[in-house]
Amino acid sequence: MKEIFDNYVETSFDGYQQATFKFKQFKINYEKFLPKDKKSLVLDIGIGRGEMLSCMRDWGFNYQGVDISPSTVKFCQSHKLKCEVTDDTVQWLLNNRKKFSLITCLDVLEHVPQNQTINFLKAIKSSLSNGGVAIIQVPNLQSPYGYLHHFNDFTHVSGFVEHSLRQVLLAAGFKQIELYGFEEIFATSLKQRLRLALRFFYRRAVRFLRALNANPNPKILDPVIFAVARK
């Protein structure tokens, strides 16, 4: 995997620029969970092209980013974003105990081998201040076409649904956990409102067919889910 991670921006994204649509998505999905005190320290793990870091900066927070990929850090630093490379994310977190009021970890946990997942989440918890919040975003394998997200990246080695995401967070010691579907559609145009209306009926049909076949029928069918876990 090192060959991919060392050049992650070049090998894993569709261009050498930020995905600006994510700014709106992150505002809708995540801004409400950030601390009210703008002086609070917040951290993004696995920074990608820095969209979450840009949001943290633009929302006025004292932020930091960390990643194992030199190419993502170089890219984000070229956008004047505060971030650094680490060879060992778990140790970096353990060296920064009780420092951050909020930690985001977006599309990262699926890259972590199963035998390291719990320790990784424990390290995140250790780096949160008392009452701190972790936001963990992953592809949702219980969505109708969840495999498209999961197998889109060769470095994905773990997969999650609602139950398993809650399961690993509980095992890591988080007590208060809320799960949400990541909303990707903004109802700001007639076309988008039509998409939302059609999606409602499509998802009802999916749930009906799963119930008919006595399959597990979890609540969230969005292609991406996230957990808000409080220390």
pLDDT tens for each residue of 122-153: 999 999 999 999 999 999 999 999 988 889 99
- Residue 214 has a pLDDT of 86
Measured CA distances, 26 to 5, 51, 158, 209 (Å): 24, 8, 23, 32
All residue ranges of the chain with pLDDT < 50 are none
- Residue 216 has a pLDDT of 82
Q: Looking at residue 74, what DSSP letter applies?
A: H
**At a CB cut-off of 8 Å and minimum separation 6, what does 205 contact?**
none
- Residue 6 has a pLDDT of 86
- Residue 191 has a pLDDT of 87
**E runs forming strands in 17-99:** 41-45, 62-67, 83-85
- Residue 131 has a pLDDT of 93
pTM value is 0.93
pLDDT tens for each residue of 86-121: 999 999 999 999 999 999 999 999 999 999 999 999
- Residue 189 has a pLDDT of 84
- Residue 188 has a pLDDT of 76
- Residue 164 has a pLDDT of 96
